[in-house]
Structure 1
């Protein structure tokens, strides 16, 4: 299967593709933690329909887990980033 290999339990992606995904996830993560966090909270609440449905913190945690699975250094996931 070209650059991607798929089995029942595993999907493998090219290292360059993973690096690009990590860059995008880092960008989004930084934006979520940025100065507009309050507005992002409000926008996400409007989008999902209820504040308890999904929060910015939950989204951040999901993005951090995905980054970790793609090979990130885990600083954000384990709370060791500054």
Structure 2
């Protein structure tokens, strides 16, 4: 697999953006969940799954300590 590097500053900005999007998704699930389902086309990938992915990517970029990722919801 090819190696890809990311500048630390860019990784921090990306992690902050992912966290912002995750937080935004949590603000109005009643409105955003139907929109996501219509876009995805299948109920298996819902807001919780999307937010979990965003939290995981944020953690992998070093933008969180993983508390949200590894704690039970």
TM-score by length of 2: 0.84
Unaligned runs of 5+ in 1: 1-7
Number of equivalent positions = 71
Q: Which runs of 4+ in 1 moved over 6 A?
A: none
Tell which has more relative contact order, 1 or 2 (C-alpha 8 A, sep 6+): 2
Pairwise CA RMSD: 1.6
Unaligned runs of 5+ in 2: none
Per residue, is there more strand in 1 or in 2?
A: 1
**Larger CA Rg, structure 1 vs 2:** 1
TM-score by length of 1: 0.76
Per residue, is there more helix in 1 or in 2?
A: 2
